[in-house]
Structure 1
Amino acid sequence: MRWPIVAGVATAVLVVGGVVAVTTSGFPSTAATGTAPPPSALPPSPAPFSPPPSRAASRGPLDPAAQRYLDAVAAKDADALAAAFAPDGLVIDVGREIRGRDAIRRWAAAEVIGGVYTLLEHTPRTGGVTLLVRFQPGGTGGFRAAYHFDISDGLITMATLEYA
């Protein structure tokens, strides 16, 4: 069977009875010899693509309540994080509800403190702010998330956290 090559390099890997055949533009087929190319002969795997953050949506200074949240995480202070919320504040963490400062403090101590935030964007809106962040739990790995903070009287009344 022949495979057409369309706009670029085509790679085919065939394993039959323990024999590996690799054909790539610029690499010889190993089907005739019955041996696979050494790993050093294969091209390196591409790094995962992560587009640079857009700063277009970031306007003005960050709301002080949102800044206190981020500062508390940087300081590894669950009490300060809980204090950024209204006494009956609500966190909706990917659908899970955490209500009240005591519950928020416990949640933060268990799941947030020790992590690292990178603020990518912030967009003020009526009654709050939306943040696009990169969160690295435990300081490693990580994911992008959208945090929607509703803010009243200088305190977060509701934080809706979603994967972005």
Structure 2
Amino acid sequence: MALSIASPGKATVSSPSQYLTFELGDEMFAVGTLNVREIIEYGPITSVPLLPPSIRGVINLRGAAVPVLDLGVRFRGERTVQTSRTCFVILEVQANAGGKPVGIIVDAVSEVLEIADQDIEPSLNFGTDVRADFLLGIGKLESGFVLLLDIGRVLSLEQVDVLATLDPLLPSTA
């Protein structure tokens, strides 16, 4: 989210926003760093019955059960294959009662980049497996492009409701 400074009758000045970039398949994605809580090594995922297919289960994060979303399933219908670089990115997602940690499985985390507003194009509806409404836009980099995810839209309303009700249903993972 860009910081805007506006005064009556004056143009809005916008500073570059920071994004955490990561790989998923052959594509480069990014999420705003304000949504990122931490990056952790890939580890065991506990299955929970009756979850949507793109929610693989939960992980134990310092005694708390954190749901994990497989973006490969959500975008392409294919599970993300674990490699030595696969990891979880823990994001803060808005649910009914406020912020909720949610993990996403990514092939590899790349770097944190600053992308200015003028270097972000509206999302296109072709050339990618990702629906255009899942994107904030496409960031132009010297080395190519990065798809800027709107993580709130990536999770359907049904999934957000499921995530909001998971905590009381889960057995203790401590």
| TM-score relative to the length of structure 1 | 0.28
Q: Which structure shows the bigger proportion of residues in strand conformation?
A: 2
